[in-house]
Structure 1
Amino acid sequence: MMSTFGQLLLLIAVVAGCSWWSLCQAKKWTTEELLNVRFPYLSSNDLYLDMSKAGGFIADIVLSHEDVDAMRMLRSTPPCRVNHSSRVFTVSHSAPCRQWRNKTNNRRRNRRAATGRPERLWEYGVIPYEILANFSGDHHALFRRAMNHWENYTCVSFVPRTSEDVSYIVFTIAECGCCSFVGKRGEGPQAISIGKNCDKFGIVVHELGHVVGFWHEHTRPDRDQYVDIFYKNIQQGQDYNFEKLKPSEVNSLGQAYDFASIMHYARDTFSRAMYLDTILPKPDANTHERPEIGQRIRLSPGDIIQTNTLYKCAKCGQTFHEASGIFSSPDYDSKVKIQGEPVHCEWRINTARGHRILLNLTYLSIPDSVDCAGDNFLEVRDGPHIKSPLIGRYCGRYAEPLIITSSNHRVWIQYHAVQAQADDSPKKNALKEKKKRRGFAANFEVLCGGNITADNGVIENPNYPYDYTPNSDCVWYITVPEDYQVAVIFSMFQLEQHEDCIYDYVEFREGHADDGDVLAKVCGYSLPNSIKSNSNKMRVRFASDASVEKAGFSFNFIKEFDECKTTNHGCHHKCVNTLGGYRCECDIGYELHSDGKSCEDACGGYLKGENGSLTSPNFPNLYPNKKRCVWEIKAHSQYRIFLNFTHFDLEGVLTNCEYDYIKVTSVDGDGEVAKVHGQFCGRIAPQFLLTSETSHLRIEFVTDSSVQKSGFAAVYFTDRDECEVDNGGCEQICKNMIGSYVCECESGYILASDGHHCKEGGCKFELNAAFGQLTSPSYPEDYPNDKECIWHFVTTPGHRLQLDFIEFEIEPHQDCAYDRIELYDGSSIDSPSLGKYCGPKAPEKITSSKNELYMFFHSDSSVQRKGFQAHYTSVCGGTLRAERSIGYVYSHAMYGGSNYENRVACEWTLLAEEGMSVEIQFTNFELEEEVHCEYDYVEIYDGESENAMRLGRFCGNKLPSMFISSGSVMRVRFRADDTVSAKGFVYEYFLTDQVEGHTFTEEPGPTTRPPLEPVINEKANNRFPSRIAARSYIH
């Protein structure tokens, strides 16, 4: 039966006219399809790969935007803020730290700096990795040595990433130098940066500690008992690196503070001078000596215990990287009785890739059961963890040793026992046989060489990533499928140098015969060229003598075939053969389609038809990274161009289009910009029909190096501009419409009854849209003398207005006594003043404290200037005063017309009169659903301060309870992440009587007030007037 998710995908595909297997294939879409088909919103899974888009940093720890939001709430020192310009997490020290207490026992808990979020742990302790090609072979070996160090002492395993691994780390080089996320970051790749001067063993081990799930040791909540922080010695702007984490950010594992941890800062970290301490351990109570801190040599005993506790590692067992070894169960050859808790042990044998493991069970005596399905067994798996392919499950007693050979370079072994198995003085003869059984004993050795039949693989020297062993002699017989050749590509190479390679060498021969033709014999320090056989077989021999060991080698082998010699490679224009595959290329003027084979016109270009369409590359699938496309639409002279976006899904939010965006401009006859219509991103398309100012419109689409979305689709058409000739007969402003035109008047004038002339009229404007623009009278010409104008802005309840002057030139005066603009925080001139402005300098952005803003313009009888042009937008959040009458708050300004945007962060503070309380009740609620409400959510706090009690976190489509504050303040927070959005919410708030000592939460019951769901801004529906009956509502 198809899953619900599968049914949903199929439904989307059917609605979009797409096939099930491809969901939606990129193709040339007709204008009719773009106008009528709804396409799915998509997003790539590389959100944590580009560290330049991180929400912030704490030293070398990378924070996501969700982390930063969480830390705003949970930091021990309020208030918290993020410095977006430098992308560092900073904390104000103006307020004292508050003490966290356990809600159940009210006692401080002893915590260690490990992640406190279970979803951040890697499943089975297995961390897949990928190393980018820009790292040298020496770097590859260094990273492997650091990973081996973790494996040697813990049950954590690092394995090369396969196509089946959804979550994995990628070794890369980012601007942060050495940095990493803490723990696993959901699905998809996440970066670990090892930049210049970071390529040291201890530093890599430290960064891998963050990947495993550790914060810095000194950020524990109880650190002040063990170390002193000297903020005066810390470099300016770096004190945020010494802040403590909140208990909910780290896990409580009962471990002591670890001065020796590899995750601990050194004494002079971020010091203003080398001789100044920034963090200093308190003296030992007995010896009065200060412990050493900041070592970058090895994992401390505390690090090891902590990791094994965090990942619930078996209490017995070991990880082997040696060429041979011996191990046995705890009860082997001893008087040990296994009683009480079961014994569970795990061993991992890891060796270089291209090698196998021979496991010899020399003794096995385990209580028998059918198919060894009982509680006593030994299990061997062909891989690194419990989900690897099962080789065998063993119990009973074996008279002869049991030999097991793995198929790859890793073996995982577990032993489980619950019965008493060793007692040399049995009380009953019937138990004698059972009492003699004593678990198992085994040894192993690594086998180099052998037969390898595969499409591809990796072969490394014995003992890799360490120096190869002396007197090695390994022979591999590689076989790839028929009709293919074997190709070898080296990633690392360092063998003893000799002109004829007579000491240490790697030899490649055609076929499997010992006397096959020599393809290459290599040694020395230079990376050899790629090597290719003539058949599907290759013999590889590595030999070393008794002296001089070097770092060794690592190479990939792949099946190779010249696909370009066939006729079924599928390339539209050109086929270029490469090792292990081929690539298609296109002629000049064309670019490769997303299918990797077809060629299409390069994105962008000149569009000259009277109507047409344009889409992002690969639409409706994910658009490519690092793309810049420019379309230029040219109409006949005296014509204008109308552009309508029918689908819009770009990275970013409308207020911050710094990553991917579309920029639309009108161009004059000289090729210069006549008007910038806007720069757009996010998921909400421009909510109006874009009309060019000239007969030439330019659309520029730009993407950066990470995070892809489904892109955009747009249709355009041209229409004669009746305003081109004699201004359409209009006295002042002629506005071209589709198939017609209308006359309008400048500010301060109204249209006469003939529809063409203007007469002086009132200069008062009611602006009820969520965003828009305005100008001074007669702009861009000089404003008239003796003019007074009023603009009254009203936006969605629960939102504020932000006014931004683009152009500003008003007669200057020290006190603005002549010509001026006055702004008031409310509905009239009696509201609190926000300032009086004049002169040539535009004011900074002005933001109201509520959903109304009042602006007054005055000019005297002399001296005229150009005036002003301004844009206004709606900003969520603010401080609202509750009254007896009901007030409303909407999740976003376009509520009812579109879903809320991504990356939203809003906060409302609701105030009551002294001695009264605030009551809130949700009437509509629809956010992205998630079990723990980690993605999009609303939080409610009983109070204004950072440490106020949180009454709940809510998501999904179930109405939250009714809430009454215990005091006179209630706080509501709304957060949305980077992906799925929904309809949003509406809640009512009003004044109610206070019941001392209580905070009320009640389940929503019947109400006589119908849920309000207005479309607040009429412009939200201009694109689809037939689908939604637009209506306006202003509270």
Structure 2
Amino acid sequence: MARVLVAVICVLSLSLVLGRELMGLYGRLTSPGFPHTYPDHQHVRWNITVPEGHRVRLYFTHFSLEHSELCEYDYVQVLSGSNETLRFCGQTEKDHEETPGGAVLYSAGNAMSVVFRSDYSNEGRFTGFQAFYAAEDIDECRSGLDGDPACAHYCHNYVGGHYCTCRSGYLLHSDKRACTVPCSGQVLTRRSGVLTSPGYPEPYPGMSQCHFQIQLEEGFRLVLEFLEPFDVEAHPNVSCPYDVLKIHTEMREYGPFCGSTPPARIKTGTHQVHVLFKADATGKNKGWKIRYTSTATPCPHPVPPPHGRIQPWQALYMFTDSINVTCKRGYKLFQGTKNLTSYQAVCQSDGTWSSSMPECHLVDCGQPEGIPLGQVSVTTTTYQSSVQYTCAPSFNLRGSQNGTYFCAQDGYWRNSLGSRELPECRPCP
């Protein structure tokens, strides 16, 4: 019993893993004792590491191990950085399918492990293996990362790495891979307009972080209508885990929205709306388009005063609309007893006009001035009335064709030449 125990202890001690670290750009590894037969009870592990941006290239030039089903006796095992495991056994010269043959093996990253294991007997006097490895530059631009393109737009490979650049108008994201467009800080102030995801209807760029604001004057109420195509990446079981569109107002939040069905029309009831859009790095969806309009409490339709007119004349007047009132020729604007040179009223947010309607009064030039050594006859003094100046006997009028003056639009008496200068009475020659 003691002899058996000693034998077991010896076997366990011989089976301890012998680890070897290989960190050069190239190298060679062989089974223990190569090119002679390998010993029993071996467990050797080579950990190969090459610089970042490279992968391990491994191939066997000699392979002679005991053959067994599923390689359960003696074997060489290759472990890649992606946890992929390959196990080999048998003899190349006998064309066993389990041998590596002339295959070239590559690591997924910059590390690979090779394990050699032999059991308690090598009766066939097998001579093991010889393999060579080398560091090989990874063309990230060709292979990409995790099956996805290495760069969103342009990829530039160099020995040991790569870098990304973007098309004109795009910015390289902080992840150094995605290309985004500036889509935050835009403020829309017009009463109606259109808002879209970046590049719509072309696929929006990954890693988009957009914040738009529609800001109208207080008193307006915004209405949002989502147009087709509406295409935001979605998930069949989870609500918008990838890309998401949200609408915020002071009163509530609408969304999240994603998928291919446009959301229903939104009457926000407010003058200010925030539109938030967030996209992850994946997906090739077309995005969204919003047409917004605004409504407001209308003001009563204005009625022009007698002898007056309103400009502009329109069927409906809404908040911030303005009107100007002018009078027909021969009339002047008055607000109460105050003479106005012009008049404007604005439709206010509560649906009232900022000022009451003025009146149009007929122009009155008043009593004309008298002249020395003459007199003036007056009938009426309102617009287009006329007065006649005459001189005393032995005096003639000078400075006016016939002494007739008219009440003009500006409220002054003027002669037929438009002059306000009064005539003179001079002695006859």
TM-score of the pair, normalised by structure 1: 0.13
Greater CA radius of gyration, 1 or 2? 2
Higher helix proportion (structure 1 or 2): 1
| Higher fraction of strand | 2
Task: Give me the TM-score of the superposition, normalised by structure 2.
Answer: 0.30
